[in-house]
């Protein structure tokens, strides 16, 4: 069974430099820092609220999947990982549903026993399943600037199709309290609830704007991560004092320049009242 989003995986050129932002400026602690020789990667996990982590991946040898990704696509978002209570049977279930698989059986990874599902079957998103073999999730830092990943935004051609695909593939339900059309942004969206986190599907309604541009240039795939903060104005001020470029708040959100975030569109929003 899939329970929650275990982590969000980013490919970066140099983890030590990336930690200058994710650990030192955002305040996320490091729980795991390990080189996996057989995969040719160094991986770091940073716990964030909502039972999830940020995973930074840096290639340490040539010719690996992560090295090729960095060469062809550059730094950026790489995969979403769902926590699995039984990765072997979840991978088998996925294959039986006709999902194109990268791993039919689990192997060892940074987050425990893992397996990957092909992005072709999941609207351009590389999906990982992970069954932790040891308790690596430490508590997030209470003082961290960002409290949780509120949602991950995925640009798709048709949100109805994407909602149906993800519901069938993973069993997540639609969150009817969010989503709709936003004429000002030229998009419509829908949310699937995944425990404390959420997947947002975004469909461009107009030709202009960043979402339409992303859809034209990259096709379907992960477009942004939205992090919740306690106080948006204070967060903006804090980041500007550290020389991070961030937009003024617009409609309750602000955008950090991708230069600071290893190429990942990062949105800050006020934490939801719970």
Q: Which residues bind Co ion (CB under 5 A)?
A: 9, 55, 81, 128
Minimum distance of Co ion from residue 109's CB (angstroms): 6
Between 25 and 45, whose beta carbon lies closer to Co ion?
45
Between 43 and 204, whose beta carbon lies closer to Co ion?
43
Minimum distance of Co ion from residue 22's CB (angstroms): 15
Minimum distance of Co ion from residue 214's CB (angstroms): 22
Minimum distance of Co ion from residue 8's CB (angstroms): 8
Between 128 and 200, whose beta carbon lies closer to Co ion?
128
**How far apart are the C-alpha atoms of 255 and 235, rounded to whole Å?**
11
Minimum distance of Co ion from residue 110's CB (angstroms): 6
Which residue in 3, 10, 104 sits closest to 59, CA to CA? 10
Between 12 and 229, whose beta carbon lies closer to Co ion?
12
Strands 197-204 and 148-155: parallel
Residues 51 and 196: beta-carbon distance below 8 Å: yes
Rg of the chain over CA atoms, in angstroms? 18
Start-to-end C-alpha separation, the chain: 26
Cα atoms in the 13 Å half-sphere on the side-chain side of 221? 19
CA distances from 184 to 156, 205, 209 (A): 19, 10, 10
Residues 265 and 223: beta-carbon distance below 8 Å: yes
Minimum distance of Co ion from residue 11's CB (angstroms): 10
Between 60 and 185, whose beta carbon lies closer to Co ion?
60
Minimum distance of Co ion from residue 211's CB (angstroms): 26
What letter would DSSP give residue 175?
Answer: E
Between 136 and 174, whose beta carbon lies closer to Co ion?
136
Residue 238's contacts (CB-CB under 8 Å, 6 or more residues apart) are: 145
Q: Please report the beta strands in the chain, taking only residues with DSSP state E, as ranges in sequence order.
A: 2-11, 32-36, 41-48, 52-59, 76-84, 107-109, 112-117, 127-131, 148-155, 173-182, 187-194, 197-204, 221-229, 253-256, 265-270
Between 55 and 220, whose beta carbon lies closer to Co ion?
55
Closest residue by beta carbon to Co ion: 9
């Amino acid at each position: 069974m899939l329970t929650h989003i275990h982590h969000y995986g980013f490919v970066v050129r140099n983890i030590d430099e990336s930690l200058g932002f994710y650990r030192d400026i955002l305040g996320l602690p490091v729980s795991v820092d390990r080189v996996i020789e057989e995969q040719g990667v160094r991986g770091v996990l940073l716990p964030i609220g909502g039972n999830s982590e940020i995973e930074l991946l840096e290639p340490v040898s040539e010719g690996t999947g992560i090295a090729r990704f960095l060469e062809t696509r550059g730094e950026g978002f790489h995969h979403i990982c769902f926590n699995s209570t039984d990765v072997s049977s979840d991978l088998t279930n996925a294959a039986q549903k006709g999902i194109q698989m990268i791993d039919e059986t689990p192997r060892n990874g940074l987050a425990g026993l893992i397996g990957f599902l092909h992005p072709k079957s999941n609207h351009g998103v590389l999906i990982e399943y992970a069954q932790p073999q040891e308790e690596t999730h430490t508590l997030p830092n209470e003082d961290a600037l960002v409290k949780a990943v509120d949602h991950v935004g995925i640009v798709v051609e048709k949100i109805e199709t994407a909602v149906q695909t993800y519901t069938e593939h993973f069993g997540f339900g639609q969150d009817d309290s969010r989503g709709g059309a936003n004429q000002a942004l030229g998009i419509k969206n829908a949310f699937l609830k995944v425990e404390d986190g959420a997947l947002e599907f975004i469909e461009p309604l107009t030709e202009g704007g960043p979402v339409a541009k992303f859809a034209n240039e990259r096709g379907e795939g992960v477009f942004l991560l939205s992090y919740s903060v306690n106080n948006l104005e204070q967060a903006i001020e804090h980041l500007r004092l550290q020389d991070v470029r961030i937009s003024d708040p617009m409609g309750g959100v602000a955008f950090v320049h991708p230069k600071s975030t290893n190429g990942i569109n990062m949105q800050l929003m006020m934490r939801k009242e719970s």
